[in-house]
Amino acid sequence: MAEADVPARETSGALVLQAEEVSVRFGGVAALTQASLRVEKGSVASLIGPNGAGKTTLFNAVTGMVPAATGRVLLEGRDISGLPPHERARAGVVRTFQNLQVFGNMNVLENVMTGAHRRLRYTVLEAVCKLPRYWREEKKARAIALDCLDFVGLTDLAGAPASDLPYGKQRLLEMARALAADPVLLLLDEPAAGLNPRETKGLGALIRRIRDERGVSVALVEHDMDLVMGVSDSVTVLSFGRVIARGTPAEVQKDPEVIAAYLGGDEGGDEGEGDA
């Protein structure tokens, strides 16, 4: 692992996310056992661990995509455990996926507008009949999407078919679409998978800007340790579904149990190995 090169930042200490003691089973497999993840407001909190450790499952439990057998999920102190995924999204829990999910039949701007639609208010009737409020809201979605495209540096490609974009730019498009949904908490599942070193560096800078300029709190799952150590305010380490360490990047890198989990486990977990 690379040396952490960022000094600890001051945060308010308020928690945006508290996923507490979450357990998830798939048949006979205990994917998560009493695992907790906390994200402070205005911070980047990373979740790392070897392949199969349960990282994506914990994200899925936070977004409501898999049911948890135990535990609860609080967003800004409010228990959202009972809400279905779309209501958690409406409350501000927004994610990107380990496998790239871009709508290839739409152009870049339209892709990002689908993110903004969560924030709009019109009825099906208003949309079908193209009533004035529908047009007003569409205009708003367009403005939000253009702003987010500008933020990630894709303005020039707004009209291009999304499927024509090179892979690295499609990843940026996903980030813009997630930002368009106005997240309180942004969950990024291996955003650097498949990126080259230059693109990964740019992604690190973008994640910091999302935190610092947009005030969005970020939970990051990533195998690229240089990226993790460079952007994280805190790191939680999972191994076989259990949290084995948490702390600052510097603390976690020195933890003998963490080193053993990465070096000794038979789960794999090679550094920098994107496996989307």
Q: Which of 87, 164, 212, 275 binds ligand ATP (CB under 6 A)?
A: 275
Q: What is the amino acid identity at position 220?
A: L
Contact indicator for 19, 49 with CB cutoff of 8 Å: no
Q: Is 56 in the site for ligand ATP (CB under 6 A)?
A: yes
Which of 33, 43, 46, 57 binds ligand ATP (CB under 6 A)? It is 57
* Residue 230 makes contact with ligand ATP by CB under 6 A: no
- Contact of residue 196 among Mg ion, ligand ATP, none (CB under 5-8 Å per partner type): none
Given the complex with Mg ion, which of 5 and 273 has the nearer CB atom?
Answer: 273
| 52 makes contact with ligand ATP (CB under 6 A) | yes
* DSSP of 81-134: TTS-HHHHHHTTEEEE-SS----TTSBHHHHHHHHHGGG----HHHHHTT-HHH
Can you list the pairs that 171-175 forms with residues at least 24 positions away whose Cβ atoms lie under 8 Å? 171/100, 171/195, 171/199, 171/203, 172/206, 173/102, 173/108, 173/111, 173/112, 174/96, 174/97, 174/100, 174/101, 174/102, 175/96, 175/206, 175/210
List the single partner that 275 binds among ligand ATP, Mg ion, none, CB under 5 to 8 Å by kind.
ligand ATP
Q: Whose Cβ is closer to ligand ATP: residue 222's or residue 233's?
A: 222
Could you give the string, one character per residue 45-74, with x where binding to Mg ion holds by CB under 5 A and - elsewhere?
----------xx------------------
User: Does position 29 bind ligand ATP by CB under 6 A?
Assistant: yes
- Min dist. Cβ of residue 28 to ligand ATP (A): 10
Helix, strand or coil, per DSSP, at residue 1: coil
- Smallest separation (angstroms) from Mg ion to the CB of 239: 14
Reading the block at residue 158, the tokens are 């707004």
Q: Does 49 contact ligand ATP by CB under 6 A?
A: yes
85 to 104: interface string for Mg ion, x by CB under 5 A: -------------x------
CA distances from 175 to 13, 123, 230, 267 (A): 26, 27, 19, 29
Distance CA 95, CA 179 (A): 9
Residue 64 interacts with ligand ATP (CB under 6 A): yes or no: no
- Residues forming contacts to Mg ion in the complex (CB under 5 A) are 55-56, 98
- Residues forming contacts to ligand ATP in the complex (CB under 6 A) are 26, 29, 31, 49, 51-57, 98, 275
